[in-house]
Structure 1
Amino acid sequence: MKKVLLVVIALFFVQFSFAQKLTVYIVRHAEKDMSNTTLKDPELSFEGKQRALELNRILKGKGINDIFSTNYIRTRNTAGPLRDYRGLPLHLYDATKPADLVKTIKTEYDGKTLLIVGHSNTVLELIEAFGGKKPFEEIPETVYDNLFKLTINGDKISVSTSKYGKKSIEEN
């Protein structure tokens, strides 16, 4: 019995000693077309399409293994150029359940590099759900240029923020 217990304990420690670094890039969707404000699910604007191309340019050499997006045209199309370039499927997730997405990613994507495309009111919640600290309190409705990088190594997480594409106009 003692030998079985020792083997189980050893396997437990071996499993955690081989945990690999997980890298997660998180962005808000690019600019949406507001020419018809009655649409609940608008396309990207011209500026948004340009930002999506810029996101591809920045991330195409980062070894993205999988892409996650909410099921909206603007989020799917923000990921579109990179998805097409890398030939990756697009995994849809429910933005109202960030803990479920984090659990899936942490258990099934260890050692991978991922992109998640969300919304101004969900991106910072995702960072917190991963165990990171929000770099600021909110993302204004007019800001689309934040690129968050989470590096997760066991229980250690670092969050860095950079900008990409054309500078967003900040609300006053």
Structure 2
Amino acid sequence: MNKVTLKELFLAVCIISSLSACYTSKIYVVRHAERQDDSADTPLSEVGHQRAKALSDSLYTKGIDSIFVTKYQRTKHTAQPLAERLGKKSEIYDVKQTGSIVERLSKIKGKNVLVVGHSDTVLEIVKGLGTKPSIAKIEHNDYDNLFLVTVNKGLFGKKVTLKENTYGQKTLP
């Protein structure tokens, strides 16, 4: 039996350490589903509840570890079907502090998360994570965007990519 030299042991420890620093995180960012009305803390409409279920169906098998919502009913109710299916509690972030949620998301390593935001914050979050969405604004009646930010950290650096999808029924123009 061969003896392992100190140099070989050191090399093995270095390789294992390097590999443990590698990770892939997937951050799904959506706007809340359709609102019942334009009041400040409106619940979801019936169509919105259907969209929330469609979101749950879309993300149920994606290994979601954490769910972030704002204090408003519409974001909580959008995430609720998925949270219940996964047995997870949603964490509240301050809608007025998108920099804070971006910073928090940037520290997540090797996890998959869902962030439910608002028409005026979703793109700000996606951009804050280092991507460039193809749209400049989410319109008032646009609810079906699903942004997937993938962060790959490897031995040779970090790569951030964006996939833009939709889910549920197509929103009407």
Question: What is the TM-score when the length of structure 2 is the normalising length?
Answer: 0.84
Q: What residue identity is the alignment partner of 1:136? A: I
Change (3 A) 1:100 1:15: farther
Alpha-carbon distance, 1:106 to partner: 2.4
Counterpart in 2 of 1:42? 42
Distance in 2 between the 1:152 and 1:22 partners?
A: 5
Following TM superposition, the consecutive aligned residue runs of length 4 or more in structure 1 with deviations greater than 3 angstroms are 14-17
What is the correspondence of 1:59-98 to structure 2 with a 5 Å cutoff? 59-98=59-98
Distance in 1 between the 2:76 and 2:21 partners?
A: 33
Counterpart in 2 of 1:143? 142
Alpha-carbon distance, 1:89 to partner: 1.3
Structure with greater proportional strand content: 2
State the secondary structure of the residue aligned to 1:78: helix
- Give the structure with higher Rg (CA): 2
Gaps of 5+ in 2: 1-12
| CA deviation map 1:137-166 (0-9, x unaligned) | 001000000111010113311101111111
Q: What residue identity is the alignment partner of 1:21? A: T
| CA deviation map 1:60-110 (0-9, x unaligned) | 011111100111000000000000000111111112222211222222x21
Q: What residue identity is the alignment partner of 1:161? A: E
Distance in 1 between the 2:72 and 2:18 partners?
A: 37
Counterpart in 2 of 1:162? 165
Counterpart in 2 of 1:5? none
Aligned identity (percent) is: 37
Question: What is the TM-score when the length of structure 1 is the normalising length?
Answer: 0.85
Q: What residue identity is the alignment partner of 2:162? A: V
Counterpart in 2 of 1:99? 99
State the secondary structure of the residue aligned to 2:140: coil
Distance in 2 between the 1:119 and 1:81 partners?
A: 18
Distance in 2 between the 1:90 and 1:151 partners?
A: 21
Distance in 1 between the 2:43 and 2:54 partners?
A: 17
Counterpart in 2 of 1:51? 51
Distance in 2 between the 1:151 and 1:131 partners?
A: 10
Distance in 1 between the 2:56 and 2:77 partners?
A: 11
Instruction: Note if 1:114 corresponds to 2:127.
Output: no
